[in-house]
Amino acid sequence: MLADLSTYSLRDFLLFDETIYRGLFGQLNAAFWPMAAVAILLAVALLVFRRRRPGVADRGVAALLATAFAISAALFFFGVYETVNFAAVYPGWGFVLEAGLLLVAVFLLPNTGGSSSAPASASPGRTGVWLAVALVVYALFGHPLAGFAAGRASADLEWFALAPAPTALAALGFLGGWRSRWRFALIVVPVVWLLLDALTLYGLELMPEAVALLVATGFGVIAALVPRRSSFVETAADLGRSGMGDPAEPVRPLRQARRQGHGTRPRSGTTGLLPTTSAQ
């Protein structure tokens, strides 16, 4: 029995081949391509707007991603994919869950981006920001181009808000720029699907696409896990940009208080030991 199983490959357990799988996206594009075009334009606009109003932009991002996950679940998992794979409903419900969590983020996490003055907030450093932005751009434009380079017909390319993979990649990129720790919960469904999709591509012997998807997923996880800067450092940087201080030098509240004559009172018996006390 075990000897017989060893003769099977992952491809033998798939219910479709690469032509049928790629054709699923062709069906989506033919019927709903205006929806993808509008979603991509909105994603680019929010990506640019986030430089000015991160809190407002992130609420818009959460709403856009919730819509994209819901559309992808309805049209792909519960639609064309279910016609060739009865198990497609399971990741489909995962996408519905993700859409629900993102809607919660819209209403209950109004300061996912916040401002530098938020007392308990933090933001990714410059490296994390650029990594997150690069991943969003890749999800919107690079992922379809990678498929085209791997031999897909232009009609069968995967686009954000219709196909699940670029939707999940865009979510990882946008969430990589969030300050809220909710990003750790929100990346679970996208990462799980991307790994399953890469495994499917591997089973279909589409190795270039599988490797590209795994690499992009890895960068997305890194973007979400990049340590956040404290708001204290950001406030110092903001003071420097406004001409009120040097952003390269951290603020020392205790030292400033002493200069203003409001230092802490020394304990009795130690006055003569303080270096700032003159000898009697």
pLDDT at 8: 60
Q: pLDDT band at 120, cuts 50/70/90? A: very low
Tokens 């998807």 belong to residue: 213
The three-state secondary structure class of 116 is: coil
Q: What type of residue is 106?
A: V
- Tell me which of 41 and 252 has the higher pLDDT: 41
- Cα torsion through 18, 22, 24, 25, rounded to 10: 160
Share of the chain above pLDDT 70, in %: 70
Q: Stretch 14-20: mean pLDDT, rounded?
A: 84
pLDDT over threshold 80, residue 259: no
124-148 per-position pLDDT tens digit: 667 778 899 999 999 999 999 999 9
- 242-257 as b/e, with b when 16 or more CB fall inside 10 Å? eeebebeeeeeeeeee
166-192 per-position pLDDT tens digit: 999 999 999 988 877 788 999 999 999
71-110 per-position pLDDT tens digit: 999 999 999 999 999 999 999 999 999 999 999 988 876 5
Q: Stretch 40-65: mean pLDDT, rounded?
A: 90
pLDDT over threshold 90, residue 249: no
pLDDT over threshold 80, residue 234: no
Burial of residue 200 (CB within 10 Å: 0-12, 13-18, 19+) is buried
Predicted TM-score of the model (pTM): 0.76
21-38 per-position pLDDT tens digit: 999 999 999 999 999 999
